[in-house]
């Protein structure tokens, strides 16, 4: 038996969300907490993220990354899948259920998150443009189309497909990016689903860990 | 030995790209051709995609889907990963190389495709808006930031990480969505990379198959 390796992830030293758990390291922290795997964190400033040392780990200069022995990964979805494949608790042992959970992982990041990120980018980059109000209405419509479809499929189920899985973990973090928009609240079963995710002890430990980083490193005032 | 199952995928009866191979069934066809797996195709009209019979397979009413025995999947990335895991040729046998390829699969669909889809949506939905020119310039900048980072990482390599993999298959299909924009051509190594993908015999067979569907079903004139 070789000694188990403690993975190292990267995260923002001062997250732009001010510790609300919306940065993508939250997904990886939550997955590691669900499976009970301890981890180390290396914090990066915005300029360090764009330096060549970090770009060797992440070609697009973002967080999180994941290092474990001689393996280095980037992309939060891939890292969560890697953790889920190597530990019990985030993917079913049944091959078909596992494949369906992976389909929902891709759906969370590609089909549901895409219009949500487009909306976030508009609120960040286009707030001062003359077209902002008109575009935001269009984007809200596109986000709500996805939320409505998700709500229809979810129905009264607790999770997306049977037991809690890595798919729910990603979907909940994606939906949380709409915090403050009031859009998720239009779909009570989706809103309750997000709350169920946030109530998990592993979620809370991950949330507290990322908030502690922000609190320790933010300039006062 | 049980008889191997022939999977069935879904595709547009008349693709909005008029057979240019930009619809997401192309990814699945290409993967199946690379591994030599025959498949059946069920064609759908736009209204059939939104009916409840199809939504049972695909909660968001899109194509492609993938049915194999009692397994039903959606999301092109998940379907390509499923095929790559069950056949030789699209993922390395080395565990670390395999995990890195999966990271690039997520990167193709989440980090590179996201601004490309946002740009495509703008060209489709905002062409008649007063803000279109200003936004297109912003979006071109964001797409080019990603292309530049991809170009830096790719360098003189033939593929993203060692041998051709499911990651290259997805990345090439993502980059092809910029066809006609002139943006990929600003990065000659990225442009050559796309051309290498398109030159693969399996790509050509998949392309011809989807074009034949369009040609057979498009109204004349």
Taking only the tens place, the pLDDT of each residue in A70-123 is: 999 999 999 999 999 999 999 999 999 999 999 999 999 999 999 999 999 899
Contact A105 B78 (CB under 8 A): yes
* Interchain contact, A105 vs B59, CB within 8 Å: no
The residue of chain A with its CA nearest to that of B142 is A121
Smallest CA–CA distance, residue B145 to chain A, in Å, is 9
Interface contact flag, B149 A118, Cβ < 8 Å: no
* Residue numbers in B near A134 (CB within 8 A): 129, 131
Q: What is the pLDDT of residue B43?
A: 98
Average pLDDT over residues A12-25: 95
List CB contacts of B141: < 8 A, sequence separation 6 or more.
none
Distance separating alpha carbons of residues B182 and B208, to the nearest angstrom = 24
CA-wise closest residue to B85 among B73, A5, B201: B73
What's the fold here for domain A95-200?
Answer: Glutathione S-transferase Yfyf (Class Pi); Chain A, domain 2 (1.20.1050)
Say what the alpha-carbon torsion angle A147, A152, A154, A156 is, to the nearest 10 degrees: 130
Comparing CA positions, the residue from A131, A54, A113 lying closest to residue B130 is: A131
Chain A nearest-CA residue for B167:
A78
Which residues, 6+ apart, have CB-to-CB distance to B70 below 8 Å? A96
Which H or E run contains B103? helix B95-106
pLDDT at residue B218 in the model: 86
For B107, the closest chain A residue by CA position comes to A75
Largest Cα span, chain A: 63
* Residue A219 confidence (pLDDT): 76
Phi-psi label, residue B69: left if phi above 0, alpha if psi -120 to 50, beta otherwise: left
Q: CA angle, corner B219, sides to B216 and B220, nearest 5?
A: 95
Interface test with B, best of A86, A99, A165, A167 (most B CBs within 10 A): A99
Which residue intervals of chain B bear CATH 3.40.30.10? 8-89+202-217
3-state secondary structure of A185: helix
pLDDT at site B221? 52
Smallest CA–CA separation between A149 and chain B, in Å? 6
> Which stretches of chain B score pLDDT less than 70?
1-4, 220-221
Neighbour order of strands in the sheet with A8-12:
A40-44, A8-12, A65-68, A71-74
Please report the pLDDT score of residue A125 as a whole number: 87
Among A109, A129, A153, whose Cβ lies nearest the Cβ of B59? A153
Nearest to B107 among A74, A100, A102 (CB): A74
CB contact under 8 A, B77 and A129: no
Centroid of chain to Cα A164: 15
CA of B35: how far to CAs of B70, B106, B108, B166, B167, in Å?
Answer: 21, 21, 21, 11, 14
Q: CATH classification of B8-89+202-217, choosing from 3.40.30.10, 3.40.50.12780, 1.10.10.10, 3.40.50.300? A: 3.40.30.10
Contacts of B126 in chain A (CB under 8 A): 135
Report the pLDDT value the prediction gives residue B1, as an integer from 0 to 100: 47
pLDDT digits (tens, 9 = 90+) for A28-74: 999 999 999 999 999 999 999 999 999 999 999 999 999 999 999 99
Q: How far apart are CA B66 and CA B71, in angstroms?
A: 8
Nearest to B181 by CA among B126, B130, B117: B117
DSSP state of A125: H
Determine, for residues A129 and B130 on separate chains, whether the beta-carbon distance falls below 8 Å: no
Buried b (16+ CB within 10 A) or exposed e, B141-152: ebbbebbebbbe
Beta bridge partners of B74: B65
pLDDT at A104: 98
Residue A161's pLDDT is what? Answer: 97
**Cβ within 8 Å of residue B89, ≥6 positions away:** B34, B35
The residue of chain A nearest to residue B109, with distances taken between CA atoms, is: A110
Q: What is the mean pLDDT of chain A?
A: 95
Is A74–B146 a contact, with Cβ atoms under 8 angstroms apart? no
Examine the pLDDT at A1 and tell me if it is beyond 50: no
| Every domain range in chain A assigned CATH 1.20.1050.10 | 95-200
pLDDT of residue A2: 55
List chain B residues with CB under 8 Å of A138: 125
């Amino acid at each position: 038996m070789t000694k188990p390796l403690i993975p190292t992830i990267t995260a923002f030293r001062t997250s732009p969300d001010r510790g609300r758990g919306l940065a993508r390291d939250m997904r990886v922290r939550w997955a590691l907490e669900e499976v009970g795997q301890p981890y180390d964190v290396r914090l990066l400033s915005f300029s360090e993220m764009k330096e060549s040392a970090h770009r060797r780990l992440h070609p697009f200069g973002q967080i999180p990354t994941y290092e474990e022995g001689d393996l280095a990964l980037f992309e939060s979805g891939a890292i969560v899948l890697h953790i889920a494949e190597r530990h019990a608790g985030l993917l079913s042992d049944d091959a078909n259920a596992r494949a369906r959970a992976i389909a929902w992982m891709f759906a969370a990041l590609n089909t549901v998150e895409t219009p949500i990120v487009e909306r976030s980018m508009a609120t960040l980059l286009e707030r001062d443009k003359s077209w902002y109000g008109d575009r935001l209405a269009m984007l809200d419509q596109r986000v709500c189309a996805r939320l409505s479809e998700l709500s229809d499929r979810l129905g009264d189920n607790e999770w997306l497909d049977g037991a809690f899985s890595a798919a729910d973990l990603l979907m909940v973090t994606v939906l949380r990016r709409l915090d403050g928009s009031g859009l998720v609240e239009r779909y009570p079963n989706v809103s309750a689903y997000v709350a169920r995710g946030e109530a998990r002890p592993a979620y809370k430990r991950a949330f507290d860990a990322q908030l502690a980083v922000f609190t320790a490193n933010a300039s006062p005032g």
